[in-house]
Chains A and B, each alone.
Chain A
Amino acid sequence: MVIHDEPTPGEMLPILTGHSSAGRLERVLRAGHFAVTAELAPPDSANPHDVYTRAELFDGHVDAMNATDGSGANCHMSSVGICALLTRIGYAPIMQVSCRDKNRIAIQGDVLGAAAMGVSNILCLTGDGVQAGDHPQAKPVFDLDCMSLLETVRGMRDKAQFLSGRKISDPPKVFLGAASNPFAPPLDFRPHRLAKKIAAGAQFIQTNYCFDVPRFKEFMARSRDLGLLEKVFILPGVGPMASARTANWIRNNVPGIYIPDSIIERLAGAKDQKKEGQQLCVELIQELSEIEGVSGIHVMAYRQEESVAEIIKSSGVLQGRVPWYPGRDQKLLQERARL
């Protein structure tokens, strides 16, 4: 299986008609495949190999990986930096941009720089409050919010201008994403907020951890009633929990994460809690992929990144598809020759 438009690092793929970006994620989604994205653990180091070894863990199993932007308000290597390294060898990153740490001048500059490096996907986030992270003394910026950020980047792309109205000669061709949390109050506002994000420019959505499937189904049904499902690709978030204790800690300490008691009890009752957490994740992926309007899955395997490939494989959602990674085609050819 050789794709004739195999990417050459530093060179963009052609942009297909009806697409906003040259990226593979948009291609996979628009072609109707079930997409898989995963969160890359950002290193606390200046070593590029830390990024590459973490990215390699996902080889052949994900269509794009999220480069987080100080998620949980903790300091790590920047999303721009990670994207620079990843695009260098052809990986498809989703660059997360949070409004917490940068104002509109810095953000728009980063968007141009990222697009120039070959970043095709941008995820617009408000960001967690500084109180949640390791630098609670920091000054929160929040110059834009995720909604006005979406509008801003869409304006840069479609109108070829900065927020100020000044012209951009080569606009950033990016596929725009946003996050959604169907599990946080006020629950009946959430589908409307999704509608707003779509109106502001969101083309794909990644959600927070999804442990409560009935609640998620309700959210999707309401979104369908609002006519949103045809307008956006939705990738619910999942992840393996290492133990009941971890799940409990995450639920109490990480903003916006909702884990029902039944999940914690199931983990607590298992002999091998880590295995059970992974099994649960596989089941969730399978269950979520059946829901109308779900276009893919987003895996956040905090401190268990090495388990992602196995989880995706066991879930069977790729249906034999092997997402591109550096050297994939060569490897596949070798395998075929050996047979």
Chain B
Amino acid sequence: MYSVRRWAVRHAGGLDKFYQGFETLLVKLHPLWEKIGYQRLERPVAKIEQLCKGLLFDCKMCGQCALSETGMSCSMNCPKNLRNGPCGGVRQNGNCEVKEEMRCVWVEAWDGNRKMQTGERILAVQLPVDFSKKGSSSWLSRVRDVQQQAVTESTAEHSSGKQ
């Protein structure tokens, strides 16, 4: 919903902090997720994610959430799917070039970003969207990424320790 979406941007700081805590919890529960099986979890978790984030952010379930990089303004609501900042067409009043009655999601993102502690993340270049991930849970994929990273780091340390 548009008004809730704008509320979320106004409270980007709090939401970001909440999410950071939530993510840490999800990562900690990795052994549990593994026991149940990530594949089995995928559908129900994606459904819950869609409900929560759909309500709050008008989430489009791209499966590779960038809300922490976009000031809690979902960039998939940009009619041009821009993931890296506002296009040149933003109207002088801050509204969208394509949807005249909507505020540009990147004008919103810039506002939201200022309220977040991790504000510099909006400056990172985002890679092309992986459309094959559409509809999948980005929470679960995030947990697996973090887990994977920890494993690679520890094996790297391990092998360098051997030498």
Contact = CB atoms under 8 A, between A and B. Distances in A.
A213 B110 CA distance: 25
A152 B128 contact: yes
Contacts of A100: 80
Contact of B79 (A140, A148, A188, A193): A140
B88 A180 contact: yes
A181 B92 CA distance: 12
Interface stretch (A43-51, A79-87, A126-134): A126-134
A194 to B, nearest CB: 10
A208 B128 CA distance: 25
A148 B127 contact: yes
A196 B85 contact: yes
A197 B79 CA distance: 20
B1 interface: no
Given A142-B80, A185-B104, A189-B110, A200 B125 contact: yes
B84 A148 contact: yes
B125 A185 contact: no
Contacts of A129: 79-80, 89, 97-98
A148 B104 contact: no
Contacts of B79: 129, 140, 142
Interface extent on B, as a size class?
20 to 34
Given A147-B126, A151-B125, A179-B88, A126 B97 contact: no
A256 B88 contact: yes
B159 interface: no
B44 to A, nearest CB: 30
Interface of B: 79-94, 97-98, 104, 106-107, 110-111, 122-123, 125-129, 131
Given A145-B80, A188-B110, A256-B88, 8 more contacts: A127-B80, A144-B128, A146-B84, A189-B85, A192-B122, A195-B123, A208-B88, A255-B97
